[in-house]
């Protein structure tokens, strides 16, 4: 058990901190400088003109941005950390923001899929007009609704409470309607408070998929597989004849 926990912790640490190396040479460093930005403190590398150049962090108080700078502009992968614990990862090119993801988004890593098959079919179980996919987590099996209208994955509080603590890592807790980053609106129109966890391993049929993010409502909830789940695979085909074909 301790070995499993250690491996999972290392994997999680790499997942959160990995970013492209900053290959811009650091000419000199400053610490908590207030002279570079009017509304923030900067710690890191600067060029001869005292502009951020190389790896550095800008601290706005409620938000920090760490990454690679070039002549005063963001240039590379940045980690944006908010005071409430939410984290975003964004790419920049000469100050222009590109793609972003968050710590609760599922990401593709071929090493997370444990199978020798290049592609495989996931069987669907039809019941009362809905399609379901059986999953096994920590030896416990249940069915998840294949929900094309949902963005993320969720599991019931009852199922989650059965999981050993060493098999998951808490990422973030949403604050309902007041949350600035993500809000879950439920059927009665209210906003639910949801905890997000990185699950070490799930099993679909005989295929292991590691590092999958699930949302767990404070009370009850539902087992749903949303669109974000399929980001764990390099490619997904539309359902056909009761199966979904995915590529490793």
Please tell me whether residues 239 and 143 are part of one structural domain.
yes
Structural domain ending residue among the three candidates 102, 127, 143: 102
Whether residue 114 is found in the same domain as residue 237: yes
pLDDT digits (tens, 9 = 90+) for 77-118: 999 999 999 999 999 999 999 999 999 999 999 999 999 999
Give the model confidence (pLDDT) of 26-57 as tens digits.
999 999 999 999 999 999 999 999 999 999 99
Whether residue 67 sits in one domain with residue 27 = yes
Same domain? For 122 and 178 the reply is yes
CATH of the domain at 191: 2.40.70.10
Which of 102, 137, 161 is where one domain is finished? 102
The domain total for the chain is 2
Please choose, from the candidates 25, 6, 26, the residue with its C-alpha nearest in 3D space to the C-alpha of residue 14: 6
Domain that holds residue 115: 110-247
- What would the DSSP string read from start to end of 167-181? GEEEEEE--GGG-SS
CA diameter of the chain: 68
pTM of the full predicted structure?
0.83
Q: Are residues 69 and 135 in the same domain?
A: no
Give the HSE-up count for residue 211: Cα atoms under 13 Å, Cβ half-sphere.
Answer: 25
Do 141 and 187 lie in one domain? The reply is yes
Rounded to whole angstroms, how far apart are CA atoms 158 and 219? 8
């Amino acid at each position: 058990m301790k070995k499993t926990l250690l491996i999972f912790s290392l994997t999680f640490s790499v997942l959160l901190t990995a970013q492209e190396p900053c290959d811009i040479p650091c000419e000199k460093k400053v610490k908590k400088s207030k002279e570079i930005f009017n509304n923030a403190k900067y710690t890191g590398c600067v060029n001869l003109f005292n502009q951020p150049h190389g790896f550095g962090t800008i601290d706005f108080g409620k938000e920090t941005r760490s990454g690679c700078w070039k002549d005063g502009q963001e240039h590379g992968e940045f980690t944006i950390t908010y005071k409430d614990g939410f984290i975003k990862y964004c790419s920049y090119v000469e100050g222009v923001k590109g793609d972003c993801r968050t710590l609760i988004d599922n990401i593709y890593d071929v090493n997370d899929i444990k199978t020798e098959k290049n592609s495989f079919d996931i069987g669907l179980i039809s019941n009362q007009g809905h399609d379901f996919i059986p999953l096994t987590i920590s030896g416990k099996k249940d069915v998840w609704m294949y929900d094309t209208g949902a963005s993320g994955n969720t599991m019931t509080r009852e199922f989650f409470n059965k999981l050993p603590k060493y098999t998951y890592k808490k990422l973030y807790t949403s604050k309902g309607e007041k949350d600035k980053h993500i809000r879950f609106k439920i059927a009665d129109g209210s906003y639910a408070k949801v905890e997000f966890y990185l699950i070490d391993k799930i099993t679909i049929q005989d295929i292991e998929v590691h590092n999958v993010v699930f949302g767990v409502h404070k009370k009850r909830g539902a087992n749903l597989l949303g669109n974000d789940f399929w980001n764990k695979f390099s490619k997904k085909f539309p359902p056909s004849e009761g199966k979904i074909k995915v590529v490793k």
